[in-house]
Chain A
Amino acid sequence: MLAQLSCTVLSRKELLDHIFKLTLSSSHISRKAKPGNFVHLKVNSDAPLLRRPFSIHSVDRARNRFEILLKVVGKGSAVLSQKSPGETLDLLGPIGNSFSLPPRGREVILVAGGMGIAPLWFLLTRLAGRFSPEDMTVFMGAKSKTELLYADKLKGTQAKLIVATDDGSAGRKGLITEVFLKEIKKRGRDLKKLAVCSCGPHKMLKSMSEIAKSLDLWCQISLETHMACGVGACWGCVVKGNDGTYKRVCVDGPVFDAREVVLE
């Protein structure tokens, strides 16, 4: 249920260089949000002008709070990363669709690239009760060890963890999508038993979409893009579907079947 709310910053933690976790108060978001949903945050009173979308990273219903992860990439994220506890933020949310729960009996594979762990962590916590840890694998990729998020936290979940970095400074060397592809091919399992959920940089999701199409995988990807309205009115944030029509990332997504979108 979409609402416009004012929420208070409860804490700000720098997880890695330029990567922050903000804990925000909101009973509405903590109760209504599902994995894949996002909030559209107003950064400041004036500049930058447009809101910025952030995946919901975790919710704490008992304490009426939720978390987002943010990486400083431009003006908007830089300003948000400096918000102190006690400051308020104007938000729209929760917005968008959510990950469909993988059918029971499947092996769940989460493929995260960098900040892509944000919604996947939320999903993982929701899947924990439905799937046993031995049926869950997390592929976590980063450019290098210094940018690797949540390796320790993921170990604590008992799901199988496979780490890869582009420079080989942690885990295997290579792109996480290549490692993922090699791994599922190596296992030679019936690919129909897999349920894959992925989030990460655009190039990575393009690869995931191509892999999903070539192997006909059950695979959901959560897209990220610039947005203006965030409520489905302006049609500024579209992605092309296989059928040639454009879909709005904000309300038709952000989660799409990887086989049904064409990423440029």
Chain B
Amino acid sequence: MKGRPDLSVKVAGVRFSNPVLVASGTFGYGEEYNALIDLSKLGGIITKSVTLKPREGNPPPRTVETPAGMLNAIGLTNVGVDRFIKQKLPFLRRLNTRTIVNVAGSTVDDYLKVVKRLNRCKGIDMLEINISCPNVKEGGLAFGARPESAYECIKQIRDHTSYPVIAKLSPNVTDIVQVACAAEEAGADAVSLINTLVGMAIDVEERKPVLANITGGLSGPAIKPVALAMVWKVAGAVRLPVIGIGGIFNVQDALEFILAGACMIQIGCANFVDPQTTVKIVDGLNRYLKERKIKRITDLVGGLRTG
């Protein structure tokens, strides 16, 4: 095959040079990784959750490694929307990659206030609505836990912004498909899944939980099969673009999510292990398509052969 395969993806009218994004909370505001990777090679950067007021977050210890993964209970530490706009967005705006701002709140009104301030900014391509943080009461899981409240939150945001809206879904629910469908009905432009799974670790010497927050969110290779199954189910149930997240560490993992129906993927925990993971996956996708003479990455999305 002559030329490079086409890795570009279009979601809600926004064109991404490739389907590889970095997951919220694992990549700061982008600048933290600027010395280590060429950020323009990313399809896009999803910021750390932005809330109305700055948040200090949970007491330490906040992280612990567990088999094939890690628990975190950071607690949405962030600079707040005003400082985000002033201090963090200008850097992101200068980059030759897409910027998706992740928004969290404790009430619908909070979300709306953040969204309204972001509405006036340049350099934002999309919003990702966090209705799934397991680590703070105000982290949105109050909305993401049930289809009705997810609908209400997403609908309100939809009515108050012209940015494309991604609803980030929690796996800590009875049926993620129902929440995905509610988000679709509410006017979301895409869904991303999964956020972390609630987990726990115990220090048996001290008879204490390892994390000060007692429970945390599990990420890493340990959750990949769970995430993959949920992506596959949701992709079969909604017409919306699905963005896959959960333990993606290499191109093989990325391809699995794409075949299961994800049109884009997010890399989270793997950034910690190897900051080059995203770039390696982009290269790997190019190679995979080229070797198999597949012209476009979009030709692979949902290409799983079942039965």
Are A and B associated in one complex?
yes
9 tightest A-B CB contacts, nearest first: A233-B28, A236-B63, A233-B32, A235-B77, A2-B35, A228-B272, A229-B272, A232-B32, A236-B62
Which residues in window 89-110 of B have CB below 8 A to A? Answer: none
25 contacts between A and B (CB under 8 A): A2-B36, A3-B35, A3-B36, A4-B276, A42-B274, A47-B67, A49-B65, A49-B70, A92-B36, A226-B61, A226-B63, A226-B65, A228-B63, A229-B26, A230-B272, A231-B275, A232-B32, A234-B63, A234-B72, A237-B62, A238-B77, A239-B60, A240-B59, A240-B60, A264-B60
Task: Give complex CA distance A229, B36 in Å.
Answer: 12
Which residues in window 197-226 of B have CB below 8 A to A? Answer: 220-221
Given contacts A1-B35, A232-B28, A240-B60, 12 further A-B contacts (CB under 8 A): A42-B273, A49-B220, A50-B70, A50-B272, A225-B60, A231-B33, A233-B27, A235-B77, A236-B62, A237-B60, A246-B57, A264-B59
With known contacts A42-B274, A49-B65, A234–B60 Cβ distance under 8 A = no
Q: Which residue of B lies closest to A232 (CB)?
A: B32
CB <8 Å contact, A238 and B273: no
Report B-chain residues with C-beta under 8 Å of the C-beta of A188. Answer: none
Give the A-binding residues of B (Cβ under 8 A): 25-28, 32-33, 35-36, 48, 56-57, 59-65, 67-70, 72, 74, 77, 220-221, 269, 271-276
Contact with B along A216-250 (1 / 0, CB 8 A): 00000000011111111111111110001110000
Contact with B along A35-53 (1 / 0, CB 8 A): 0000000100001111100
Report A-chain residues with C-beta under 8 Å of the C-beta of B33. Answer: 231, 233
Report A-chain residues with C-beta under 8 Å of the C-beta of B60. Answer: 225, 237-240, 246, 264
Question: Which of these, B36, B61, B65, B269, contacts A231 with CB under 8 Å?
Answer: B36
Report B-chain residues with C-beta under 8 Å of the C-beta of A51. Answer: 272-273
With known contacts A2-B35, A49-B220, A246-B56, A233–B271 Cβ distance under 8 A = yes
Shortest beta-carbon distance, B157 to chain A, in Å? 25
Chain B contact residues: helix, strand, loop or mixed: loop
Q: Which residue of A lies closest to B222 (CB)?
A: A49
Report B-chain residues with C-beta under 8 Å of the C-beta of A147. Answer: none
Shortest beta-carbon distance, B69 to chain A, in Å? 7
Give the B-binding residues of A (Cβ under 8 A): 1-4, 42, 47-51, 90, 92, 225-240, 244-246, 264
Question: Which of these, A48, A234, A238, contacts B28 with CB under 8 Å?
Answer: A234
Task: Give complex CA distance A138, B66 in Å.
Answer: 38
Task: Give complex CA distance A246, B28 in Å.
Answer: 15
Task: Give complex CA distance A48, B69 in Å.
Answer: 9
CB <8 Å contact, A231 and B32: yes
Task: Give complex CA distance A237, B275 in Å.
Answer: 18
CB <8 Å contact, B32 and A49: no
Q: Which residue of B lies closest to A43 (CB)?
A: B273
Question: Which of these, B67, B72, B221, B275, contacts A236 with CB under 8 Å?
Answer: B72
CB <8 Å contact, A4 and B57: no
Question: Which of these, A4, A226, A234, A244, contacts B36 with CB under 8 Å?
Answer: A4
CB <8 Å contact, A234 and B25: yes
Report B-chain residues with C-beta under 8 Å of the C-beta of A2. Answer: 35-36
Q: Which residue of B lies closest to A236 (CB)?
A: B63
Report B-chain residues with C-beta under 8 Å of the C-beta of A230. Answer: 272
Report B-chain residues with C-beta under 8 Å of the C-beta of A227. Answer: 63
Task: Give complex CA distance A233, B274 in Å.
Answer: 13
CB <8 Å contact, B69 and A49: yes
Task: Give complex CA distance A264, B208 in Å.
Answer: 15
Task: Give complex CA distance A236, B76 in Å.
Answer: 11
Report B-chain residues with C-beta under 8 Å of the C-beta of A3. Answer: 35-36
Shortest beta-carbon distance, B49 to chain A, in Å? 11
Report A-chain residues with C-beta under 8 Å of the C-beta of B25. Answer: 234
Shortest beta-carbon distance, A79 to chain B, in Å? 13
Report A-chain residues with C-beta under 8 Å of the C-beta of B67. Answer: 47
Report A-chain residues with C-beta under 8 Å of the C-beta of B74. Answer: 234-236
Report A-chain residues with C-beta under 8 Å of the C-beta of B48. Answer: 233
CB <8 Å contact, B35 and A48: no
With known contacts A1-B35, A245-B56, A226–B272 Cβ distance under 8 A = no
